[in-house]
Amino acid sequence: MIYLKSFDIPKDSWVDFYFNRPPAMFCEEIRIRENIPDNISQVTPMTDCDISYPWNVFYGKGRSHFEFGDITIFYGGNGSGKSTLLNVITQKLNLFRNNRYNKSNGFDDYVEICQHNELNRNEVSTVQRGKIITSEDVFDIILKKRKSNEDRENIRDKLIDKYYDPKELPWENLTDPEILKQYKDILNMGKKSCSSYVRSQLESAKQELSNGETAFNYFVETIKENSLVLLDEPENSLSAKWQVELSYFLLGTVLENNCQLIISTHSPFLLSLRGARVYDLDTMPIMEKKWNELENVQCYYDLFKRYEYLFSE
């Protein structure tokens, strides 16, 4: 299901107009010639290089218009702009996000000029119900899970100490209902092993999961049907096995749950998602490519081809 058909970022001529405002007598002529939107005149031109982000990220890369399919992927190395593009789209469409994004002073001006074409509008826009899931979101869940496990360990240690050393109880005050209950608990300890006692006292807990399982479960629980979902490098924290599982799950959300996915990644398992539209942000100009033509995938191919004899034994 396609909810977002296309997205346009500022053209090079718009960026030039923003940073190097021409004399007033030429402004209207240039605006008409370059089809510069009216709202670009509402921003304050800036020249400080520290606030040129994200204006400088895609300048000179030869593409300002992006068409989307059911699955669209932005591929590229560090600094290519794939995460920036997701964050710009998120801000423009006012999508839900868990973690705050650090913006430059020129970020909102940049987003203001971007344009998009939204399809399948409902009374409550499906796009407006969309969200972005970032690596930070996944790391937060993993850390919370780790903290929960540590807390359980601390509770277990205290219960074991209590089992072996019940001297802290005020025996002289057994008329107190709470103290009496503790007394009976201690008497019952003799009927149980230490492990049985700890197990009976600890709150039933979920099975301790690996980072990969925790991250994968987070995607399963977070991605809802009938929605636009942006995923920023979801392969982080996932082993190859879990990346394969994630690719199956994501394809299912598109085919069965009417989701549209826009992903930034360099994982070959995600790049090879069936029917995905892939933009290579490392090329000049930015081009659509088949996943098997991408440099990162070619590196994997060359590696396994070099050692092919080891897999044929």
Question: How many domains would you assign to the chain?
Answer: 2
Distance CA 248, CA 197 (A): 42
Let me know if residue 207 belongs to a domain.
no
In terms of Cα–Cα distance, which of 71, 136, 61, 65 is closest to 98?
136
State whether 153 and 57 are in the same domain: no
Let me know if residue 98 belongs to a domain.
yes
Collapsing DSSP to helix, strand or coil, 229 comes out as: strand
> What's the token pair of residue 265?
């990644």
**Backbone region of residue 58 per phi and psi (left: phi > 0; alpha: psi in -120 to 50; beta: other values):** alpha
Distance CA 290, CA 149 (A): 43
Q: Output the pTM of the full model.
A: 0.77
Is 50 exceeded by the pLDDT of residue 6?
yes
Distances (CA, A) of 26 to 10, 20, 259: 20, 12, 46
The phi and psi torsions of 102 (rounded to 5 degrees) equal -75, 115
State whether 299 and 150 are in the same domain: no
Task: Say what the pLDDT of residue 200 is.
Answer: 55
Task: Say what the pLDDT of residue 142 is.
Answer: 75
Proportion of the chain above pLDDT 90, given as a percent: 45
Task: Say what the pLDDT of residue 205 is.
Answer: 45
Domain end marker among 201, 222, 241:
201
Residue with the bigger pLDDT between 285 and 210: it is 285
State whether 51 and 97 are in the same domain: yes
State whether 106 and 10 are in the same domain: yes
Distance CA 146, CA 159 (A): 20
Which residues constitute the domain of residue 301?
Answer: 4-137+212-311
Distance CA 194, CA 188 (A): 11
Task: Say what the pLDDT of residue 32 is.
Answer: 76
State whether 167 and 296 are in the same domain: no
Task: Say what the pLDDT of residue 144 is.
Answer: 76
DSSP strand pairing (115-118 vs 131-133)? unpaired
Let me know if residue 172 belongs to a domain.
yes
Q: How do residues 22-52 score in pLDDT, each as one tens digit?
A: 666 667 777 777 777 777 765 555 555 555 7
Highest mean pLDDT out of 1-15, 90-104, 154-168, 189-203: 1-15
In terms of Cα–Cα distance, which of 120, 149, 110, 105 is closest to 2?
120
Contacts 24+ apart (CB under 8 A), 78-85: 80/281, 80/282, 81/54, 81/57, 81/281, 82/264, 82/265, 82/281, 83/232, 83/233, 83/264, 84/53, 84/54, 84/57, 85/9, 85/58, 85/264, 85/281
Let me know if residue 12 belongs to a domain.
yes
**Which of 28-37, 72-81, 234-243 has the lowest average pLDDT?**
28-37
DSSP strand pairing (115-118 vs 65-67)? unpaired
223 near 253, Cβ under 8 Å? yes
